[in-house]
Amino acid sequence: MTLDLGMGVDTRISPSFHPQVIASMDEFDTDTQPVLQQAVDAFVSVYEGLGKVHDAKAAAEANTAWPENMRVIRVQEAADRSFARFAPQLDRVYANMKNGVELIEKQLTAPIEAQAAHTIATQIRTHVKGLAERQGTSTLDKRPGQSAIGFVQAAIQKGDALTVSAVLGAPSYLSGLTDEMHAMLLRQWHEKANPQAAKRHRAMLSVMEIIRNRGTLLHAELEKLVGASPAHAKALRDRNAAAEKALGGI
């Protein structure tokens, strides 16, 4: 679901920073919006902040009393103020997404207990181990139920908790599976049992990736806006401050 935020478009700003980027994610819907709204709000702050820097640049360029270097100084100051407002908000969202991902990751990898009686659970594992020994645990066999992996995956799709828990609720070697295959199947079972958690997990990972990507682009966007690197703008500001201090002492 795509949520139309109803925000206008500032053609001066790259579309990459528009909050609609978050609201148009495939995973954005009524289930994930409560978690992702903070990301939307953060990008609103970024978008509005960039707009204010553009406004500051337009005002600086209109002031013909300022030489070019003074314009760079003033626009950099505006950029610094905007960045100081929205950068911490982005950092908080990233940290919240990371914590959420780690929490759900624990849920999706949590061990389970066998639900069948001991004798039945043992028979199920013996059956799966027999499949593994005859056909191997290769995932190349895509026929449902024709391999150990296919058999368990078919049970997962049917929601057969008795079969799944008998296999995954015991050490992997009892069913002839590798630890990696056991972990993969366990995750598939949890995702099948709790699709909303799996969806939130994917959504938060996507937001983290967007923030990492936009963070790099953001610095380049501001530098382009100012018309000079932060280091150069700082050097200009320092020289200006020194000159004003010297003149003030006369």
Confidence class for position 168, pLDDT limits 50, 70, 90: very high
What local confidence, expressed as pLDDT, does residue 2 receive?
Answer: 63
- The average pLDDT across 2-21 equals 88
Contact by Cβ (8 Å): 73, 237 = yes
- For the stretch 100-159, pLDDT in tens is 999 999 999 999 998 888 999 999 999 999 998 887 544 444 454 468 999 999 999 999
Angle between helices 148-158 and 179-193 (to 10 degrees): 10
Distance CA 187, CA 190 (A): 5
Distance CA 22, CA 233 (A): 32
pLDDT mean over 210-234: 88
pLDDT tens digits for range 17-56? 999 999 999 999 999 999 999 999 999 999 999 999 999 9
User: For 176-193, what is the mean pLDDT?
Assistant: 96
What are the structural domain ranges in the chain?
16-109+197-248, 118-195
* d(C-alpha 203, C-alpha 39), whole Å: 11
235-241-242-245 Cα dihedral, nearest 10 degrees = 180
What is each CA distance from 131 to 68, 149, 238, in whole angstroms? 77, 9, 75
High-pLDDT (> 70) share of the chain, % = 93
Instruction: Give counts: helices (H), strands (E), the chain.
Output: 9, 0
Report pTM. 0.83
Share of the chain above pLDDT 90, in %: 72
HEC string of 118-162 equals: HHHHHHHHHHHHHHHHHHCCCCCCCCCCCCHHHHHHHHHHHCCHH
pLDDT (average), residues 57-71: 91
Instruction: Name the token pair of 164.
Output: 């799944």
